[in-house]
Amino acid sequence: MRNIMKNKHSLLAVVLGALLAGCASDAQVQTELAPPTNAEVCCTEFSQFPYAQLNDKEDIKFDVDLASPVGTFSQGNSHFAAFRFSERSGDVTVTVSSLMIDDSVFAPEVLLLDNQFKVVETFKLADFQILPSDAFTRTRYIERFTTNAEQTPYFVIYTPADQLGKQVTVDHPAKVRAKEFGEVMPMVTDPVYTHRLGGRVEVQVETLKLRPFRAIDPVKPAEVAPAPVVEKAIQAQPESQKFYLSAIEQAVAKGDIPKALSLLDEAKALNIPGAQEAFVKAVNSKK
């Protein structure tokens, strides 16, 4: 009897232990799939994001993981990757892929931003298609779009917080091939992938049209006209006026007209008032 009771107690302990372990496991998963905290946020404005510069043509593979920067989005906090198109690019085609590896995948969304870092267009997870794996590629979320790099020079890849922990079931590759070739459907289990905080992402960029640049003539400085030379009027002293008027009259009276004209020119240069009148009067009085 004691052995029976002992066995029952042991069995109960095992069951309770398993239940507790299961609860602990669930709690760990929930913690892992919680979005990043506000304390981890590096940037609350898109203008503050670190943007990686792209070339005219790109084919890059990278991981969004716990070391990636965290930003604040309308759907919550998320690790992200941000990019800036080449200044040479006009119209571009962009392909964004998120690979399904093991049992996890990064559920991507893409924001296109203008020069003022305002959201111009959003590609939701629902816009992404699921591309089954083949001999060369893994199963993935994939979206291809065309945009103008001059009007939307920036784009950001992130995952909405409400997608974390959700699962997606995709057809087993054997089923895909059977459907493609019309074969008997195999008895296989479809893989299930959980939306995680990060994952492997691929980005391809192809420039369809280069951005036109026009050479602009440098602005020439306005020509500055030289300041007009202002001759200062010479103020004749009263003594000088008397001298020249008297000298002109005496020269005319003596018949020395050349001397009188020379004195008249000097008087005019010195702004002697009445010199011309004195000369004319002297000449008329001599007749």
| 160, 33 Cβ separation under 8 angstroms | no
Q: What is the pLDDT of residue 247?
A: 82
Q: What is the pLDDT of residue 30?
A: 36
* Section 266-275 average pLDDT: 78
Q: How far apart are CA 233 and CA 189, in angstroms?
A: 110
Q: How far apart are CA 178 and CA 221, in angstroms?
A: 75
Residue pLDDT, tens place only, 31-44: 358 999 999 999 88
* Section 73-100 average pLDDT: 96
Percent of the chain with pLDDT over 70: 80
CB atoms within 10 A of CB 91: 16
Q: What is the pLDDT of residue 218?
A: 57
- Residue 18: is its pLDDT beyond 60? no
What are residue 200's DSSP bridge partners?
63
- Residue 282: is its pLDDT beyond 90? no
Hunting for tokens 């996890």 — which residue is that? 104
Q: What is the pLDDT of residue 27?
A: 36
Structure tokens at 145: 């779009």
* Section 132-153 average pLDDT: 93
Q: What is the pLDDT of residue 215?
A: 65
Hunting for tokens 């920067």 — which residue is that? 69
- Residue 29: is its pLDDT beyond 70? no
* Section 241-257 average pLDDT: 80
CB atoms within 10 A of CB 27: 10
What are residue 92's DSSP bridge partners?
147, 207
* Section 169-187 average pLDDT: 83
Domains identified in the chain and CATH numbers: 46-210 (2.60.120), 238-285 (no CATH)
